[in-house]
Structure formats: structure tokens, C-alpha cells
Structure 1
Amino acid sequence: MKLGGRSLKIVLGVAIVAFGLVRYCGSQEENPYTGRTQAINLSTDEEIAIGLQNAPIMAEQHGGLHPDAQLQEFVDQVGKKLVDNTIARETPYEYEFHLLRDPNTVNAFALPGGQIFITYALMERLDSEDQLAGILGHEIGHVVGRHSAERIAQSELANTVATGAQVGADAGMLASQIGQTLLLKNGRGDELESDDLGVKFMIEAGYNPEALIEVMQILKEASGGQSVPEFQSSHPDPENRIEKIQAAIKKYRIN
């Protein structure tokens, strides 16, 4: 029995989706530092290479590095203290901390492999070393959690599903929406896991973890109280994050 053109497209589309799912499931591995099973299709060397390659690009997008060497040294000292006193020191990554010149964008972020950034716009809003440790600890959590590598694998799966749907069922838009929903959900999970790890790292390095709650309040004020609904955002609402941070503080202080 011969397949018609539409039937052949459906079979081909299903095959593309199946290939993507098999590849994704086959890349599952346990993160030795968090104990969580993740889909990862990058080696740690590839993560490091991606981070080093993109670090200058990210710096340029934020006006370059901040010229204050003393302020940069302070950021380095806090970052080093967090790494040296936590499981981060056991990872294969070489952490580098960069203070960006950007006076307008309140932000901090991490690239794969240990490249971590904070903008001056966020730095100048901080009142204490503990708050800076909270931010850097959170970003170290993203690196230890291998969140960028995991998101790359998830993005590839979402693109494969969308391609298969377009070929097989003219449902590319629906598949794309499903893929975006997957990425948003996991993006929020990344933030919450990094908050949890950030609290753990702060306590282990001798910092006050309550300062991370103060950081959440700073971020909320910086947004002017106007943020997109959580279901449209890859970041959980600061109020929800505060509740999780408080729970993490209780957990790690007991341990």
C-alpha cells in the first residue's frame, strides 16, 4: 500500500520528532555537583570554550568593562571567597568575575564555563558585601547547575519538534508554543535552583543569606514594580523567589 503525499509527510514528521526525543533522552546524565539528572549534549570543555568566546561580546554589549580597578578587585575577592569555600572549587570551571560599565541595565548573568558578570547599574544599588555575595553566589549556581548547557539541549529538542510538526501536520505554530512553554518552565526552575545554591554557597562562605532576600527587593524596586506576569516570564516573580529563599535558609542552617 502506497502512502499518499500527506501520509508520507506525517510519517516523516513523526520520524523527525522521534529522532529528537531519542537524542534528547539519550543525553541524560547526572550532575555530580547537584545530583540532578539533566539532558546535556556539551562537554565541560565545550562549555568553557563557549563562555570564553562570548565573554568579550557580552562585555561590549554593556559598554565594556568598568574602569575602576579597585571595584573590580572587590568583585573578584567576593567571587573567589565563594568559589574557594564551596563545591564550586571542585568543578572543572575557572570562574572569572566581570564588572560591566553599563550604568542603566540592572542585571547579572553567567555564561557557560564560569564567566560571570554584574553591571555597574546593579552594583551601585547594593549596600553590603553580603548582597554582592548573594548575586555572585546565584550566578555561580547557574554555572554549577550547568543551566546554559541544559537549555541548549532543550532548545534543540523544541526546534526539532517544531520542524517535525511543520513537516508532518502543519502544526508548527502549536509545536513552537509547546517548545517555548517548555523553555520558560525550565528557565524558572533554573532561577530557583540557583537561588537555592546561592543560599548554600553564602552560608558556606560565611555570608548572611538574608542578604539575597534584600537583593530580590532591590530587583523588584529596579523594575518599578512593573513586571510581566510570571506565566510569560522565564524568571519567577521576586515574591515567589523570596519564599523559596527563606525555605532554603532554614534548610541549610539546620544542616
Structure 2
Amino acid sequence: MSIQIDLSSDVAVVTGGGSGIGEGIATLLAEAGAKVAIADLSAEAATSVAEQITSKGGAAIGVEMNIADEDSVRRGLAEVREQLGPVSVLVNNAGAWTIKKFADTTDDEARRVVDITLLGAITVMRAALPDLLETQGRIVNIASDSARTGEHSMAVYAGAKAGVIAVTKSLAKEVGRKGVRANVVAPGTTVTPGSSAFIEQVGGADKLARAYPLGRLGAPADIAGAVLFLASPLSTWITGQVLSVSGGYTMV
């Protein structure tokens, strides 16, 4: 007997899908058969990932989207509906951070992190909710284990991601009886272009990996696998949960 995850009837939107974890998620969802919209602030990056997917036989489009701008979000989702259909899987992956001690973080820096990481995710969820109610869809929000443990020099980011967790749990209670599920994947340190500065600041990947029971840092594919599970029929009785994907670093 074999088990195969088939998302061929789904339309997925992945924010921040133009690189790193988002690219890994978009690629794996497409491999499972989903039609994927890669939404990214960089139209070039979004289109590049979409072209990589379509070159391998998948279905994907790139969509320019600034999640901190409500009009941009609504335009982007309208484009998705027109080209692919109503959204049934929403992955809020886009975020922003600053690596700086709390006392040294400016108001503008803090506001940018919160506007993108928390309010941006809220804006996308609100705009996509009519589709998700229609399709009885699934939301998978990418948070961070820093939201559960705290993180040196990333206090505002950790707080914003904690907000993502709280909003997701609350929304799961509101829409569960309407057939929509909402969960969170909380990565540990994952090796991407965006995390390189943090990894170097704490002494490099080899040093940091010693703190992880599984002996290594994460890869985008590790996070993507968890997202695929929560987006699939294998998780139909799971909602409002936070899944740490952190090599055992966080055990809550």
C-alpha cells in the first residue's frame, strides 16, 4: 500500500515565495500537484521560481505583491483568481527582521518588522478569506521558534511572530466550523540567503548546529515538508496548532 499526497485540485499562494523557505514550499506544493502562485515583493524573483516549476511540468505563476500594502495584496489575489482560480491553500511566509539589540532598534525599524511580519500576514488572510471559505481551504502561517523561546537581538521579530501564532489560533476557532483550517509552522534556524547574517553573527553554522539535538540546521525542504502535511488531507483533524520544525531545539 502506498500513500500519495495529491493537491491537484488546489490553488496555493505562497508569500515570500521568491527565495529561501518560500521557494522550497512553493516547489514542493507544485510537486504535489497544486497550481501555485509565487507572491513576492520582487516580480523578477517570483517569475523565476514560477518558471523553474513550469519547466519541470508544474503549474505556477509569479505575482508581484507587497503584503504591507492592502491594494497590492488585493490586486495580486485578483490576478491569482483570474489565472488559476480561487485560493484553497494560503501560506504566509513573507516576513522582515532586523538583527539589532532591542535598545538600539529604532521606531521605524520596529514598525517595518511589525507591518510586514504581522500586519502583512493579517492583510493577506483577510483578503483571501472569502476564497478560503468558498473552497474550505487551509492556512499555514510560517512563524518562528523565536516566538516561543525568544531570541537575542531579534526581540521585535520574535514578538511579531508571536502575534502571528495568536492570530492563527484565534482565526482557527472562528472558521473551523466553516471548514477552514489554520495552523502554524515554526522553524528553527534554517539556512537561507536571508538567515546568513544571523548565522554568522552567532558564530557560524557549525557552532550553532551543536545546540540542535539532530546535529544540523534546517533546510527549506524541512520546512516545506511540514507545510505540505498541514495543507494535505493527512491533517484533516488538525487546526490551531503550532508545529516546531527545529531539529529538536524547541520541545514545547
Q: Same fold (TM over 0.5)?
A: no
What is the TM-score normalised by the length of structure 2?
0.29
What is the TM-score normalised by the length of structure 1?
0.29
Q: From the CA coordinates, give the structure whose radius of gyration is larger.
A: 1
The structure with the greater share of residues assigned to helix is 1
The structure with the greater share of residues assigned to strand is 2
